[in-house]
Structure 1
Amino acid sequence: MPLRTESSRYQRLESLSLHASDPVSFRFNTDGGRALLVEAHAPGVFRLCIGGPLAEGRAPSPGAARAAALQDLLARAEPVGEASLEQFEADGQAAFRLVQGDHALELRSAPLRLTLHRKGQPVLASAGGDGQAFGVADGGWRVAFDLADGESLHGLGETTQSLDRRGAVIATDDPDARALPLCWSPGGWGVYANTLAPTVHALGAAAAPSGYVLAIGDADLDLFLFVGDPAEILNQYSQITGRAGQPPLWSMGTWLQQPDGGSADELAGTAAKMRELAIPFDAVSLASPVAWDIRTKLALEWDAARFPDPRHMLARFKELDAKVCAPGFPAVLTASPMFADLEDKGWLLTDDSGGAQAFPGIPATGGAAFGLLDLTHRDVWAFWRDKIRQLLDEGVDAVACDAQIHIPDGVSSRSGDDGARLRTLYPILVKRCLFEAAAWNKTPAEGLVWSHDVFATGQRLPLQASTAVPNGWEGLAASIRAALSVGNSGLPSHAHDIGSPDQPRDGLTPELYLRWLAAAVFSSHFRFHAVPGLLPWDFGDEVLGHVRTWMQFRYRLIPYVLGAIEDAARTGLPVQRSMALAFPDDPEAHRHELQYLLGPALLVAPALEPGDKIRVYLPKGEAWWDLNTGWRYEGGTAWTFECGLDRLPVFGREGHMLCLGPAAQHTGEFNSARILDEVWLFGMPVHNPTVMRNKIRVMQMQGSSYAKGLEGLRILPSEGLEVKRRGAEVRISRAR
């Protein structure tokens, strides 16, 4: 949808008058009898609705499928905040201020515009002058805000370029844009457009270089405005739109991806060699096309040509202590006898003639034309979920599915959604159905869906698979940006690939391979590819030795990594956190955008060019402890470190502690009763440690810290501290 500002196409809202209010919601009238609702939706969150049943104070029409689909975007639609209303006069017009503690939303008229205040200071304001702050344009809405000079913008999906999205134009219904709906600034504000309709975000682009303009192709406007630190914004955003369940423990281990065209026997041979060479791993992932489809009856049948004996194949991987992820896709081939049957049942997406839409072949279907199951149909949803659940019960451990394909404008669903709305909605339904199948009867919800798709509500899934990047130093940087950008957008975890099998491998030197692996070790998930030139033994014995060392440390990190993922389910914060997200008040840190926090306690500086010298900036306001030397550094300083291929600059944040598990060849070797082995202290501990199934507690008293839950663990104190055990309690104090 193009951005338009011509007066013949744009109707600016001018008037504003209070109609009714209570501590939660405030109803106003504006131009043409349009109703404006402002909710104190949550602490630091205001919701603005113009038009639609919510703003107009009426219930949705019975059977309003589109309204039901829109609610799929929200996990919590009910407001939980309160605000007080102040009325005053500005420029001879009535004005209103809604106050929530230290934050406020100010509304003015002639024209209608708003200002967000944080702790008494304005942080976001509607476009001034004739900037057309709120108005109807081309059957949708145009909303514009002013940006401060140099203000950076973050979120809005995956990018392999700069994490600061300012200057970009992002269209949410373009699959290639890999867009997500949340935008925020380190200055203390965020914006989320709650709609299935196509939305264009112009972020200080050429048409309005000093403004942020949203063009929303929906007759009803529904905006959430956030005020607070980026961490507070992600917390509130994920509470409103939904948070991820938990991935299983085994998924934290290494994955091994089957090459395209490879056989299950060849993959099993590579997995056996991984075991033989003592390279830890936990899971294998089968390549496209789909492992099963709907053929002669309402069942999912394995592809007999690729998997003549699926039970034997699964058993062979189980003998190697390997979990199996298999590809699935909600399709029925047009050549299948079931295509006509499902068309007659009304179970497939339809074209503008009312017949089943036939899509051209894609890799998931082996290039064969297909129809898509209509997952807005309740019976179809239940059918596909239950059949996937049956396969999981029979030995498949996870499903991989990329469903973000182009759906033409004339294609529609039973819900009444079509075209651009369906392009947004369909991946949401596919992934939710798969996760529901995987998390069946598990409390808390635990499961895994491997997907490269980037889609609204993607933050409800525990894992985002990697994007393809070149096999060079620029590819390593791009993969880190992809992980940090989706984290900035609310997704909790990102899987890294060690190299790209579809890209030339001439530039993948032994040094780059190890630097890539080292960065991936300090992430939530990663995988090797079972492709010549991308496996650890392809680079010689010295590299293989370094790979084993890095992999041993990776498995020792798993209790911390899973603790960070559990923390993401509670707070909405990603496992890998960008400098702008973690340190919004330190502009110098933002310039080092390829550094990141792993969880709350570890600062990681990847090696991004050849050589041993790596430049690191340590954010201000903190002290940092070098994991390699144990030395302490003050924050707000930059250093150059010499690191061989067996190390990276990684720093522990003062006041935190790092809990490590034992070395293992796979997570099945972990002793659930003794998941931890060792604790590293970074100065006097102040914070409870990030660790899976967290039962360790730290409290301060009389200048010392007392920790419970460290029974039997080896404790490595930082310099100047002493540790004394007192039964089940550990006292940590200054050395005398």
Structure 2
Amino acid sequence: MKFTDGYWLLREGVTAAHPVEVLDVEAMDGTLEIHAPTQPIRHRGDLLKGPVVTISASAPMPDVIGVTFTHFEGEQPRGPEFDVTGQEFSPHISYDEEHATLTSGALSLKLARSGSWHLDFLAHGRTLTSSGPKGMGIMRNAATGAHYLREQLGLTVGTSVYGLGERFGPLVKNGQVVDIWNADGGTATEQAYKNVPFYLTDAGYGVFVDHPGKVSFEVGSEAVSRVQFSAETQELTYYVIYGPTPKDIIRKYTALTGRPALPPAWSFGLWLSTSFTTSYDEETVTSFIEGMRERELPLSVFHFDCFWMREFNWCDFQWDPRVFPDPAGMLSRLHERDLRVCVWINPYIAQRSPLFAEGKALGHLLRRPDGSVWQWDMWQPGMALVDFTSPAARDWYASKLEALLAQGVDCFKTDFGERVPTDVAWSDGSDPERMHNYYTYLYNRTVFDVLRKHRGEGEAVLFARSATSGSQKFPVHWGGDCEATYESMAESLRGGLSLGLSGFGYWSHDIGGFEGTPTPALFKRWIAFGLLSSHSRLHGSSSYRVPWLFDEESVDVLRLFTRLKLSLMPYLYEAARTAHAEGLPMMRAMVLEFPDDPGCAHLERQYMLGPDLLVAPVFDDEGDVSYYVPEGTWTHFLSGRTVTGPRWVRERHGFLSVPLLVRPGAVIPVGAVQDRPDYDLADGVTLRVYGLERGRQVTVPVGDVTFTVVREGDTLRATCSDPAAAWALAAGERTARAQAGTGFLSLELG
């Protein structure tokens, strides 16, 4: 939100009050308490005037400093609040005549006690960012009566800003206006399904604004050398998080807001959907599955989209008896084919659903201030929302899902959850504006907890569309309604990379695009991208996504890239475990891995899959692709060709190829299984070694086994956590095999 009219003036009707100096500062229990008047104190008469901004600075953990600034403290606190987890940690506080300093690990907040208002954040003596004169402020709109708190943090020259959720515009957010307000806007607009009030910079720090409602960011836009954020509130908290690397920042941000759960191994295989409005029954479903089997296309999960339920009954959680007369038997038959089953749900209850009357009578549906159930006709006629602020409503909703799990359903696609009204009264008294974004957190947590309870820890997985800060704890998330175009494929990738830089470990998208039907060429290009993503799903709106309906080559392309992904499970699952343990995404923007390479700062059409594989999807029928190779000699995984960087590369790829390059010095474990994702990853594993320098040693975790590979002169030697296993390979040879646990190890020199 913009408040100014250029540099000198305020917009019509806007008034502003900014801290101009420090009246007093006091240390209390590890917290700096600051009072800052908004006019100079020249004599006692000035002490009778307001406003005065009250500021508290504290540290929930090392390298993180929180700042809370308040106008009126008498505002009645109303939830919800983000679940922010700190540590038992006491920062160091020091004073001199000129400054008060709070130090948390390597990060310090330095407050100017005299002169004009200035708040600096420093690490190792270097200023990361600052709140200067006319930065922090109380902003009022006389026409509407709205009261905002605003902060502006400086951007040094050359600093790029990332994150703020799954955003489909340019990956670098400088120059953009971003409103943290969940919306069902597709992938082609500035709106987003997953809004996260956290941004990451390549200058050593990130900022998390701890406000679950609408936060408006002006990223080098209203003031081009500052990031501005504002919210309509009387109190606002933000955390500055020091890295120094982008990876370190994400680790510390997710330590505050939660790390992703580890999805089950089977979820990394191929998912096939009925698609949205297509006509289907068990015979249709079986024909798809049998067609995949006949063509040797490995399939892990089958998904039933909306019309598994009767029309106008979404959601009643009842199979449409006209087309699914024996759901338990059908689910059993699918399980006999070694498939998991996912079904579509949303948090809305249509008026025709029998659950509408039940939910209304029990008080489980969201109400207006006058006590009537909130309803509208968009999406489903007369639909209402489940009030997830009520524990009883959560239990009621969960009980409907438990019945499906008892039938044999394995997981849920938790669609929607963005269009949440504000003219309502929540059962727990939550503020409607603050609940708008937070609703998705309660919705997906409810469903995830049901799965965790009934399927066990490590078996719970969602396919979720909406999210906010903290929702990364309930994976997986997909990109929403994209179109069947190369442009939409590219915007989907930008969204996924942006989400990964916002603390989300896993991400997927609709292969081929959701709206419309892709051309065979686009479908094949998107398959390569989709199978080199964290999770992979074939899904569309009004047309099926089985490959033989496009052309026979699509079958070959899907077979190749599905088998490739499954063979890479020893590598991918370790990347997934890193996402769970550290918060680092599986699909990584290049800047995350190469923050010191200025050529990577703006790259948004390529990414790292885990730490060592570079993927450059092809956005062109003819196969022309340009991508950037960082320093070193990289190897094409599929062909063995090498490319030396740093430089840009232009290539042409057929449909059975894609730029997939291995980082120099990497050891890629390749599994012996190509028809399923859940297997003994160490049994028969191949360690492919790429450009390992003499004297270098690499540790390679594979399932429950750890290999160590070292190059000693012209010999590669591998040792295993099983002390009886050891192998050596001369530099001029290709393979060496020996027993490794229950299988064998093949060590290849790349």
Shorter chain as denominator, the TM-score bin is 0.7 to 0.9
| Residue equivalent to 1:156 | 164
Q: 1:624 to 1:41 in 2, by over 3 A?
A: farther
Report if aligned partners of 1:659, 1:677 keep a CA contact under 8 Å in 2: yes
Deviations 1:406-427, CA, capped at 9 Å, x for gaps: 2332112112124322211211
Q: 1:293 to 1:689 in 2, by over 3 A?
A: farther
Q: 1:516 to 1:712 in 2, by over 3 A?
A: farther
Matches within 5 A, 1:169-568: 169-175=177-183, 176=185, 177-178=191-192, 179-205=195-221, 207-228=222-243, 229-259=245-275, 260-265=277-282, 266-289=284-307, 291=309, 300-336=317-353, 338-362=355-379, 367-440=380-453, 444-505=457-518, 508-510=519-521, 512-529=522-539, 534-568=545-579
- Deviation, 1:231, is 0.7
| Residue equivalent to 2:605 | 594
Q: 1:347 to 1:52 in 2, by over 3 A?
A: farther
After TM superposition, the score normalised by the length of structure 2 is 0.85
C-alpha distance in structure 1 between counterparts of 2:382 and 2:736, whole Å: 69
C-alpha distance in structure 1 between counterparts of 2:215 and 2:302, whole Å: 38
- Deviation, 1:319, is 3.4
- Deviation, 1:278, is 0.9
Report if aligned partners of 1:476, 1:516 keep a CA contact under 8 Å in 2: yes
C-alpha distance in structure 2 between counterparts of 1:99 and 1:580, whole Å: 28
Does residue 656 of the first structure (1) align with residue 659 of the second (2)?
A: no
Report if aligned partners of 2:53, 2:69 keep a CA contact under 8 Å in 1: yes
Deviations 1:471-525, CA, capped at 9 Å, x for gaps: 23223222221211111111111113221242253xx243x33222112222111
Report if aligned partners of 2:634, 2:661 keep a CA contact under 8 Å in 1: yes
Report if aligned partners of 1:412, 1:422 keep a CA contact under 8 Å in 2: no
Matches within 5 A, 1:123-142: 123-126=128-131, 128-129=132-133, 131-135=134-138, 137=140, 138-142=146-150
Aligned partner letter, 1:309 = D
Does residue 74 of the first structure (1) align with residue 83 of the second (2)?
A: yes
- Deviation, 1:549, is 2.0
Report if aligned partners of 2:210, 2:237 keep a CA contact under 8 Å in 1: yes
- Deviation, 1:634, is 4.4
C-alpha distance in structure 2 between counterparts of 1:539 and 1:292, whole Å: 29
- Deviation, 1:328, is 1.9
The structure 2 residue matched to 1:18, chosen from 7, 13, 25, is: 25
- Deviation, 1:203, is 0.9
C-alpha distance in structure 2 between counterparts of 1:159 and 1:731, whole Å: 43
Aligned partner letter, 1:582 = E
Query: What secondary structure, in the 3-state scheme, does the structure 1 residue paired with 2:408 have?
Result: coil
517-526 or 412-421, larger mean C-alpha shift: 412-421
- Deviation, 1:237, is 0.7
C-alpha distance in structure 2 between counterparts of 1:523 and 1:554, whole Å: 9
139-148 or 575-584, larger mean C-alpha shift: 139-148
C-alpha distance in structure 2 between counterparts of 1:120 and 1:45, whole Å: 16
C-alpha distance in structure 1 between counterparts of 2:107 and 2:2, whole Å: 34
Q: 1:509 to 1:728 in 2, by over 3 A?
A: closer
C-alpha distance in structure 2 between counterparts of 1:30 and 1:561, whole Å: 51
- Deviation, 1:96, is 2.0
Report if aligned partners of 1:676, 1:713 keep a CA contact under 8 Å in 2: no
Q: 1:172 to 1:616 in 2, by over 3 A?
A: closer
327-336 or 226-235, larger mean C-alpha shift: 327-336
Q: 1:347 to 1:496 in 2, by over 3 A?
A: closer
- Deviation, 1:442, is 6.3
Q: 1:341 to 1:474 in 2, by over 3 A?
A: closer
C-alpha distance in structure 1 between counterparts of 2:551 and 2:356, whole Å: 51
| Residue equivalent to 1:603 | 614
Query: What secondary structure, in the 3-state scheme, does the structure 2 residue paired with 1:20 have?
Result: strand
- Deviation, 1:568, is 0.3
C-alpha distance in structure 2 between counterparts of 1:222 and 1:700, whole Å: 48
Q: 1:112 to 1:414 in 2, by over 3 A?
A: farther
| Residue equivalent to 1:47 | 66
Report if aligned partners of 1:357, 1:411 keep a CA contact under 8 Å in 2: yes
C-alpha distance in structure 2 between counterparts of 1:273 and 1:716, whole Å: 44
Q: 1:101 to 1:315 in 2, by over 3 A?
A: closer
C-alpha distance in structure 2 between counterparts of 1:617 and 1:323, whole Å: 38
Q: 1:400 to 1:732 in 2, by over 3 A?
A: closer
Query: What secondary structure, in the 3-state scheme, does the structure 2 residue paired with 1:569 have?
Result: helix
Deviations 1:586-634, CA, capped at 9 Å, x for gaps: 11122432121101111112222343553332223x5533323445554
| Residue equivalent to 1:96 | 100
Report if aligned partners of 2:718, 2:728 keep a CA contact under 8 Å in 1: no
Unaligned runs of 5+ in 2: 5-9, 38-50, 141-145, 186-190
207-216 or 561-570, larger mean C-alpha shift: 207-216
Q: 1:579 to 1:404 in 2, by over 3 A?
A: same
Query: What secondary structure, in the 3-state scheme, does the structure 1 residue paired with 2:396 have?
Result: helix
The structure 2 residue matched to 1:686, chosen from 681, 697, 712, is: 697
Aligned partner letter, 2:112 = R
C-alpha distance in structure 1 between counterparts of 2:655 and 2:127, whole Å: 48
After TM superposition, the score normalised by the length of structure 1 is 0.86
- Deviation, 1:35, is 4.0
Q: 1:709 to 1:649 in 2, by over 3 A?
A: farther
Q: 1:716 to 1:116 in 2, by over 3 A?
A: farther
Deviations 1:17-59, CA, capped at 9 Å, x for gaps: 322245x433333346654221222222111123499x99xxx
Aligned partner letter, 1:371 = A
How many pairs does the alignment contain? 703
- Deviation, 1:374, is 1.4
C-alpha distance in structure 1 between counterparts of 2:508 and 2:166, whole Å: 13
Query: What secondary structure, in the 3-state scheme, does the structure 2 residue paired with 1:636 have?
Result: strand
Deviations 1:256-313, CA, capped at 9 Å, x for gaps: 1112142232222112111111111111111115748999xx9954443453321133
Report if aligned partners of 1:95, 1:107 keep a CA contact under 8 Å in 2: yes
C-alpha distance in structure 1 between counterparts of 2:724 and 2:498, whole Å: 40
| Residue equivalent to 1:698 | 708
- Deviation, 1:706, is 4.8
Aligned partner letter, 1:458 = S
Query: What secondary structure, in the 3-state scheme, does the structure 2 residue paired with 1:449 have?
Result: coil
Aligned partner letter, 1:42 = M
- Deviation, 1:235, is 0.5
- Deviation, 1:99, is 2.8
Q: 1:360 to 1:86 in 2, by over 3 A?
A: same
C-alpha distance in structure 2 between counterparts of 1:627 and 1:716, whole Å: 23
The structure 1 residue matched to 2:35, chosen from 29, 38, 45, is: 29
C-alpha distance in structure 2 between counterparts of 1:182 and 1:125, whole Å: 17
Report if aligned partners of 2:738, 2:746 keep a CA contact under 8 Å in 1: no
Q: 1:545 to 1:719 in 2, by over 3 A?
A: farther
C-alpha distance in structure 1 between counterparts of 2:536 and 2:728, whole Å: 28
C-alpha distance in structure 2 between counterparts of 1:607 and 1:716, whole Å: 39
- Deviation, 1:723, is 7.8
Taking only aligned residues, the RMSD between alpha carbons, in angstroms, comes to 3.5
Report if aligned partners of 2:327, 2:407 keep a CA contact under 8 Å in 1: no
Query: What secondary structure, in the 3-state scheme, does the structure 1 residue paired with 2:697 have?
Result: coil
228-237 or 398-407, larger mean C-alpha shift: 398-407
Deviations 1:424-473, CA, capped at 9 Å, x for gaps: 12111000001111111666444111122132322112211123333232
C-alpha distance in structure 2 between counterparts of 1:632 and 1:167, whole Å: 38
Query: What secondary structure, in the 3-state scheme, does the structure 1 residue paired with 2:332 have?
Result: helix
C-alpha distance in structure 2 between counterparts of 1:464 and 1:396, whole Å: 19
Report if aligned partners of 2:701, 2:707 keep a CA contact under 8 Å in 1: no
190-199 or 10-19, larger mean C-alpha shift: 10-19
C-alpha distance in structure 2 between counterparts of 1:546 and 1:8, whole Å: 58
Report if aligned partners of 2:305, 2:344 keep a CA contact under 8 Å in 1: yes
Does residue 118 of the first structure (1) align with residue 137 of the second (2)?
A: no
